[in-house]
Amino acid sequence: MRIEEGIIRQLIAQGYKQLGIRIDSMDMFYRPYPMGIEIVLILRAISGNEISPEEYKRIINKIKEYFSEKGFSNIHLLGIIFSAVPERARQLYHNQDDHFIVDLWNRRLIIYENQSPYYSNLISMVEDIVHNEEYTTGLNQKGYIQDRNSHNQKTNIISFINTILIVVNIIIYILVHHTAIFGETIYAMQKGALYWYFVKVDREHYRLLTSMFLHSDFEHLLNNMLVLFFVGDNLERAAGKIKYLVIYFGSGIIAGISSISYNMIKEREVLSVGASGAIFGIVGAMVYILLINKGHLEDISSRQIILFTVFSLYGGIANVNIDNAAHIGGFIGGIILAVILYRRQRKAKAGEV
């Protein structure tokens, strides 16, 4: 018997009634009391990508409006989220209402420390069911949890946006270095590279973007794309596609501004190319997100990221041809952007019951 069925059975036994809702992934139960109404919303977010936080919040607000129009002034809502990837389901949480996450894969109940005690009477009931009820492996009739191999395949799917960025970098490298579509290689590099004089005096601001997709040689490209493949993939999973793009390009632009500012102050006449500024921004964002998630997120740990950062910065200092201003600027920019964009998970502290 599935965990969900056990919880629903207990809710009905405690006097909750089911109200039809036209969303396949949700079930809603309510129980009136003299001063208001209690609502339990069950959400199946198995991969964590079934519904956006904004859409989930909109649905909750609609439910509250419905009961408010029925004359209920005190509305208490509990969301019980079933997920095999709780770190993604965590993004659905918001401070207005209480939430439990049922981690189907590890058979545990996750609650948030800053929640109200209103639904504390349901904690032991849900926890007992999570620990004692069975659920079928293989695809069940509602299709929301598969066996271990299928789960691993799902969570290890290569991230879409990150893959596109890598492919675009490779294609541009081939076009610049192995075709004449942009003219001779040296001309194409000079036309798109970052140089403070061209940006400041000639106002060629496009170089802040084009320089991110140019690489001096194959080794330069390979090193950057390997790091982007591993770190960028994890960041896109954690932050989402749009936020990942903002962090990538935002960090790259901040890195470019840092580079031209430093070189202008030092009166250095150098051309800078490469995606490393944006990639250091990705690393900086991952450092922040890992700290928020207490040191571990899917396939990568804070120790791995910190060691990579230390060795990369050391390698830059030891190599006079490395644009350290871009690296440091991108890294700091990535942290700042992550602080701004990853605010939702920063507020949600999870603790296992």
Q: Which residues are tagged catalytic?
A: 276, 327
In sequence order, what E strands does the chain have? 17-19, 26-33, 36-44, 74-83, 98-103, 108-112, 296-297, 300-301, 350-352
Select from 163, 159, 337 the least CA-distant residue to 236: 159
Residues 64 and 75: beta-carbon distance below 8 Å:
yes
Select from 347, 283, 352, 351 the least CA-distant residue to 93: 347
Residue 74, classed as helix, strand or coil, is strand
Residues 239 and 342: beta-carbon distance below 8 Å:
yes
The pair phi, psi for residue 351, each rounded to 5°, is: -140, 140
> What residue has token string 């439910």?
63
Tokens coding 259: 């580079």
Residue 26, classed as helix, strand or coil, is strand
Query: Rounded to whole angstroms, what are the CA distances from 157 to 150, 180, 236, 335?
Result: 11, 36, 12, 26
Tokens coding 141: 């009739």
C-alpha–C-alpha distance, residues 302 and 288, integer Å: 9
